[in-house]
Structure 1
């Protein structure tokens, strides 16, 4: 049975000019794409199935990520239904020279596991077996939009 910590994914992208808008900061569309990719990887790691995006809750862009800085995207599954998986995905601006991080964007996402015929398929029971996993799940549940 997959555990929350098995689904924890962390990816980094150096923000380059081709990722930027006219203000030389990460284009919101690129940030959303990176979030969707990390969320889907977490959902697939949990379910063992292909997962498609079904819903993305409100996304607020709190701070920009300038060209030359790193977009650090963290995601994990914190809850599961019969065929759906909920993931929390957060983006941080990381300074490459010192590693300092600031939260820039976050969202809650729902993915649906599908079979080879692209029909919804059941996902495993959700478990949490570590203290860190319990902390992440409690944080996600307390901040989850209602």
Structure 2
């Protein structure tokens, strides 16, 4: 059994010319792909097995990420089901010269742990052992509720 904080991953992608759309900003499909990949890593860190994407609960693009900026993906698992793992994902744009950062994208993904034959496999509950674990879980559950009410 892992903790919420043990599944926390932060990854960076520099937005290159082949990552952008006609407006010189990161293509939404690329941001979604980066989020999916990092989210799967958080899920796999908890499950100890391969995890596949089962659902994406809204994908809100709040602002663009310009070419040359860094896209930071923050991900962590916050809840589990029989074979599912719910993961909170947020993307930020960061100016690589100043380090200034602002959130650009938020979503909640559900991954399913699978065995070698791609059949769903049981996952353990997540442990909430520290104040940081509790804070991350509470923020995710509150954000998930807020998104579903909009």
What's the TM-score, normalizing by structure 1?
Answer: 0.98
Deviation at 1:60, TM superposition (A): 1.3
Deviation at 1:133, TM superposition (A): 1.3
What is residue 47 of structure 2 aligned with on the other side?
47
Distance 2:37 2:17 in 1: 20
Distance 2:114 2:59 in 1: 25
1:23 alignment partner, SS class: coil
Map residues 1-20 of structure 1 onto 2, 5 A cutoff: 1-20=1-20
Does residue 27 of the first structure (1) align with residue 37 of the second (2)? Answer: no
What is residue 73 of structure 1 aligned with on the other side?
73
Distance 1:110 1:137 in 2: 15
* Consecutive unaligned residues in structure 1, runs of 5 or more: none
Distance 1:4 1:62 in 2: 26
Distance 2:62 2:117 in 1: 39
Q: CA RMSD in A?
A: 0.7
Deviation at 1:132, TM superposition (A): 1.1
Tell me which stretches of 4 or more aligned residues in structure 1 moved more than 3 Å: none
Distance 1:105 1:69 in 2: 15
Q: How many residues align?
A: 146
2:58 alignment partner, SS class: coil
